[in-house]
């Protein structure tokens, strides 16, 4: 059975609709909203839609990884799906596309790809670093996608970054463990793009997640790590 988790903060605009869609999807046994300190009606609307609401254990910013870790802990399903809470056009087919390879025994972890060009952080930070240190993962069109699914046992086998680096960290760690991973197209994803200041924060977190693993694997030293981190503002600002 499937648990669907939505890390959320101030998502009152979409959360009620998205919880209802997830709840009526085949084989979904529960929907969990992990609230990261919302000041709007996110919690009220999630409860109204029938979600189990979990309050994020540490309200550190950015805390996406903390929310995901909490979701894994509370989920009862053998398969866990994580979805961004701000998807405007979520439908059941997206959830089914993510879980089908796992249900069919073709994969233990699935990354969702969607019908639009990869974002600035992917193209200017994540992809170049993957090409340099983990070229086996360069084939993933959306390595930072927040739409993922996996066996609960697989999620429990890795550590979660606290911040925006969580998705790429999970991908690298599961690849290194030899877990069966596939990427599936879940169709067009309609959601608001993040403002530039958040993209810069995300870029730092993504770079740190990749470079920390590269250091552990002996692929870069601390001097190289620090040198790259200092270039982040320029990299994110170079594409307007």
Q: Is the pLDDT of residue 239 over 50?
A: no
Per-residue model confidence (pLDDT) at position 99: 98
pLDDT band at 159 (very low <50, low <70, confident <90, very high): very high
Count how many Cα atoms sit within 13 Å of the Cα of residue 87 in the half-sphere of its side chain.
Answer: 24
| Span 97-118, average pLDDT | 91
Report yes or no on whether pTM surpasses 0.85.
yes
**CATH number of 224's domain:** 3.90.550.10
Range of the domain at 181: 2-237
pLDDT at 189: 83
Model confidence pLDDT, tens digit, residues 46-64: 999 999 999 999 887 779 9
Work out how many domains the chain is built from and give that number.
Answer: 1
pLDDT surpasses 90 at 157: yes
The CA distance from 12 to 47, in Å, is 11
**240 has a pLDDT exceeding 60:** no
- pLDDT over 90 percentage in the chain: 85
pLDDT of res. 109: 99
> What pLDDT, on the 0 to 100 scale, is given for residue 60?
78
pLDDT at 155 over 60: yes
pLDDT tens digits, 170-220: 999 999 999 999 999 998 887 666 666 678 899 999 999 999 999 999 999
| Cα angle, residue 204 at apex, residues 88 and 110 outer, rounded to 5° | 50
Q: Are strands 2-8 and 52-55 parallel, antiparallel or unpaired?
A: unpaired
pLDDT at res. 65: 96
């Amino acid at each position: 059975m499937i648990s669907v988790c939505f890390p959320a903060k101030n998502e009152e605009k979409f959360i009620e609709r998205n919880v209802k869609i997830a709840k009526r999807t085949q084989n979904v046994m529960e929907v969990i909203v992990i609230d990261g300190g919302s000041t709007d009606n996110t919690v009220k609307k999630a409860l109204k839609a029938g979600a189990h609401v979990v309050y994020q254990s540490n309200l550190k910013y950015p805390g996406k990884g903390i929310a995901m870790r909490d979701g894994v802990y509370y989920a009862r399903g053998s398969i866990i799906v994580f979805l961004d809470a701000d998807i405007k056009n979520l439908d059941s087919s997206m959830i089914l596309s993510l879980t089908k390879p796992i249900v069919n025994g073709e994969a233990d972890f699935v990354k969702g790809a969607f019908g639009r060009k990869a974002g600035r952080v992917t193209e200017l930070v994540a992809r170049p670093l993957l090409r340099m240190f983990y070229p086996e993962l360069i084939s993933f069109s959306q390595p930072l996608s927040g739409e993922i699914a996996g066996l609960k046992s697989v999620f429990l086998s890795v550590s979660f970054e606290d911040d925006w680096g969580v998705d790429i960290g999970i991908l690298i760690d599961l690849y290194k463990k030899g877990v069966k991973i596939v990427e599936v197209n879940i169709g067009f994803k309609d959601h608001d793009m993040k403002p530039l200041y958040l993209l810069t924060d995300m870029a730092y977190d993504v770079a740190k997640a990749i470079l920390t693993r590269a250091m552990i694997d002996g692929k870069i030293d601390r001097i190289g790590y620090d040198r790259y981190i200092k270039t982040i503002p320029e990299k994110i600002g170079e594409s307007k």
